[in-house]
Chain A
Amino acid sequence: MKRLALILILAGASAGDLFAADSRAAFDAANRLYGQGKFAEAAASYEKIIQSGAASPAVQFNLGNAWFKAGQFGHAIAAYRRAEQATPRDPDVRANLQFARKQVGGNLSVTPGLAQRTLGRMTLNEWTLLAAVALWSWLVLLALGQWRPAWRRGLQSYVLLTGLATAVLGSAVAADWAVNHSPKTAVVIVAEAVVRQGPLDEAPAAFTAKDGAELTVLDERDDWLQVGGNPQRTGWVKRAAVTVL
Chain B
Amino acid sequence: MRDSSLQNSIQSCRPKYFGRAVLFLLPWIALAIAPTALLAATLTATLDRDTVAVGEGATLTLVFEGGAPKNPPPLPRLQNLRVTYSGQSSQFSWVNGQSTSTVTHTYVLTPVQPGDFSIPPIMVDVDGKTLSSPAILLKAVRAAAAQPDAAGAESQLALLKLVLPKKQIYVGEIIPIELQLYVRDSVQNIQQFQMSPFNADGLAFGKTVQGGQRQARIGNASFSVVPFQAALMAVKTGTLKLEPVDFSMVMVLPVSGRQRDPFDPFGMFQRGDQRRATLSTEAATVEVLPLPDGAPAEFSGAVGNFSLNLTAAPTEVAVGDPITIKAQITGRGALDAVTLPVPATWQDFKTYPPNSKVQATDALGLQGTKHFELVAVPQNAEIKQLPPLVFTFFDPEQKAYRTLTQPAIAIQVRPGATSASGSLVGSKTETPPPAQDIVTIKLRPSRSGGASRPLITRPLFWAVQSLPVLAWVTLLVRRRRAESLANNPRLRRQRQVAQFVTQSLKDLQTHAEEKNSADFFALVFRLLQEQLGERLDLPASSITEAVVEERLQPRGLPAPMLARLHELFQACNLARYAPVKSTQELKAFIPRIETALREMQEMKS
By a beta-carbon cutoff of 8 Å, the part of chain A in contact with chain B is 23-24, 27-28, 31-32, 34-35, 49, 53-62, 65-66, 68-69, 82-83, 85-87, 89-92, 95-96, 99-100, 123-125, 128-129, 132, 135-136, 139-140, 142-143, 146-147, 149, 173, 177, 181
**CB atoms of A35 and B475 under 8 A apart:** no
**CB atoms of A86 and B450 under 8 A apart:** yes
**CB atoms of A143 and B475 under 8 A apart:** yes
Q: Please list 12 pairs of residues, one from A and one from B, whose beta carbons are closer than 8 Å in the complex, sorted by A's number.
A: A23-B445, A31-B441, A49-B445, A91-B321, A92-B442, A99-B438, A124-B455, A125-B452, A128-B455, A135-B468, A140-B471, A146-B475
* A95 partner residues in chain B, CB cutoff 8 A: 419, 438-439
B435 close to chain A: CB less than 8 A = no
**CB atoms of A136 and B455 under 8 A apart:** no
Contacts A35-B426, A99-B438, A143-B471 given: A91-B452 contact, CB under 8 Å? no
* Whole-angstrom CA separation of A147 from B455 in the bound complex: 30
**CB atoms of B426 and A32 under 8 A apart:** yes
How far is the CB of A120 from the nearest CB of chain B, in Å? 14
**CB atoms of B320 and A91 under 8 A apart:** yes
Cβ-defined partner of A125 (8 Å) among B442, B454, B475? B454
Contacts A32-B424, A90-B417 given: A61-B441 contact, CB under 8 Å? yes
B506 close to chain A: CB less than 8 A = no
**CB atoms of B450 and A125 under 8 A apart:** yes
Closest to B448 in A: A56
* A55 partner residues in chain B, CB cutoff 8 A: 448, 451
B444 close to chain A: CB less than 8 A = yes
Cβ-defined partner of A62 (8 Å) among B416, B442, B452? B442
* A82 partner residues in chain B, CB cutoff 8 A: 451
B437, B439, B445, B452: residue with the most chain A Cβ atoms closer than 10 Å: B445
* B476 partner residues in chain A, CB cutoff 8 A: 146
**CB atoms of B469 and A139 under 8 A apart:** yes
Cβ-defined partner of B455 (8 Å) among A23, A54, A91, A129? A129
* Whole-angstrom CA separation of A56 from B443 in the bound complex: 12
- Interface digits, B447-476 against A, CB 8 Å rule (1 contact, 0 not)? 111111011100001001100110110011
Which 7 residue pairs of A and B lie closest in terms of their CB atoms, listed nearest first? A139-B468, A86-B450, A146-B475, A35-B424, A58-B442, A86-B451, A92-B439
B residues 397-427 near A (Cβ < 8 Å) are 416-417, 419-421, 424-427
**CB atoms of A62 and B465 under 8 A apart:** no
Cβ-defined partner of B425 (8 Å) among A31, A83, A86, A177? A31
| Dominant secondary structure at the B interface | loop
Cβ-defined partner of A128 (8 Å) among B443, B447, B456? B456
* Whole-angstrom CA separation of A63 from B570 in the bound complex: 94
* A92 partner residues in chain B, CB cutoff 8 A: 419-421, 439, 442
Contacts A57-B451, A125-B454 given: A65-B426 contact, CB under 8 Å? no
**CB atoms of A142 and B424 under 8 A apart:** no
B447, B455, B464, B469: residue with the most chain A Cβ atoms closer than 10 Å: B455
**CB atoms of A56 and B468 under 8 A apart:** no
**CB atoms of B441 and A177 under 8 A apart:** no
**CB atoms of B445 and A54 under 8 A apart:** yes
* Whole-angstrom CA separation of A46 from B74 in the bound complex: 73
How far is the CB of A71 from the nearest CB of chain B, in Å? 13
* Whole-angstrom CA separation of A49 from B442 in the bound complex: 15
Contacts A58-B442, A92-B420, A128-B456 given: A139-B450 contact, CB under 8 Å? no
* A54 partner residues in chain B, CB cutoff 8 A: 445, 448
How far is the CB of B186 from the nearest CB of chain A, in Å? 58
How far is the CB of A143 from the nearest CB of chain B, in Å? 4
Closest to B440 in A: A65
B446 close to chain A: CB less than 8 A = yes
* B451 partner residues in chain A, CB cutoff 8 A: 55-57, 60, 82-83, 85-86
How far is the CB of A123 from the nearest CB of chain B, in Å? 6
* A177 partner residues in chain B, CB cutoff 8 A: 454, 456
Cβ-defined partner of A65 (8 Å) among B438, B450, B479? B438
* A128 partner residues in chain B, CB cutoff 8 A: 454-456, 461
* Whole-angstrom CA separation of A124 from B440 in the bound complex: 26
Beyond the given A59-B445, A177-B456, please list 12 additional residue pairs across the A-B interface where CB-CB is below 8 A.
A53-B448, A55-B451, A57-B451, A58-B442, A61-B441, A65-B438, A66-B441, A86-B451, A91-B419, A125-B452, A146-B476, A149-B479
Closest to B427 in A: A35
**CB atoms of B472 and A32 under 8 A apart:** no
* A86 partner residues in chain B, CB cutoff 8 A: 450-451
B residues 51-87 near A (Cβ < 8 Å) are none
**CB atoms of A28 and B452 under 8 A apart:** no
How far is the CB of A64 from the nearest CB of chain B, in Å? 8
Cβ-defined partner of A28 (8 Å) among B425, B449, B456? B425
* B421 partner residues in chain A, CB cutoff 8 A: 92
Closest to B480 in A: A146
**CB atoms of A62 and B441 under 8 A apart:** yes
* B321 partner residues in chain A, CB cutoff 8 A: 91
Closest to B438 in A: A96
How far is the CB of B2 from the nearest CB of chain A, in Å? 38
* A56 partner residues in chain B, CB cutoff 8 A: 445-448, 450-451
* Whole-angstrom CA separation of A58 from B475 in the bound complex: 46
* Whole-angstrom CA separation of A60 from B437 in the bound complex: 18
* Whole-angstrom CA separation of A65 from B442 in the bound complex: 10
* Whole-angstrom CA separation of A9 from B424 in the bound complex: 35
B417, B452, B456: residue with the most chain A Cβ atoms closer than 10 Å: B456
* Whole-angstrom CA separation of A58 from B452 in the bound complex: 13
* Whole-angstrom CA separation of A23 from B441 in the bound complex: 16
* Whole-angstrom CA separation of A128 from B80 in the bound complex: 89
* Whole-angstrom CA separation of A198 from B361 in the bound complex: 51
Cβ-defined partner of B438 (8 Å) among A83, A100, A136? A100
How far is the CB of A153 from the nearest CB of chain B, in Å? 15
**CB atoms of A132 and B450 under 8 A apart:** no
How far is the CB of B575 from the nearest CB of chain A, in Å? 48
How far is the CB of A124 from the nearest CB of chain B, in Å? 5
B478 close to chain A: CB less than 8 A = yes
Closest to A27 in B: B445
Closest to A92 in B: B439
Closest to B439 in A: A92
* A142 partner residues in chain B, CB cutoff 8 A: 472
* B472 partner residues in chain A, CB cutoff 8 A: 139, 142-143, 146
* Whole-angstrom CA separation of A125 from B455 in the bound complex: 6
* Whole-angstrom CA separation of A146 from B479 in the bound complex: 6
* Whole-angstrom CA separation of A128 from B461 in the bound complex: 10
* B456 partner residues in chain A, CB cutoff 8 A: 124, 128, 173, 177
**CB atoms of B446 and A58 under 8 A apart:** yes
* A83 partner residues in chain B, CB cutoff 8 A: 451
**CB atoms of A87 and B454 under 8 A apart:** no
* B469 partner residues in chain A, CB cutoff 8 A: 139
* B437 partner residues in chain A, CB cutoff 8 A: 99
B residues 274-313 near A (Cβ < 8 Å) are none
How far is the CB of A99 from the nearest CB of chain B, in Å? 5
B residues 369-422 near A (Cβ < 8 Å) are 416-417, 419-421
How far is the CB of B26 from the nearest CB of chain A, in Å? 41
* B443 partner residues in chain A, CB cutoff 8 A: 31
B residues 10-55 near A (Cβ < 8 Å) are none
Contacts A31-B425, A146-B475 given: A87-B450 contact, CB under 8 Å? yes
Closest to A64 in B: B438
Closest to A149 in B: B479
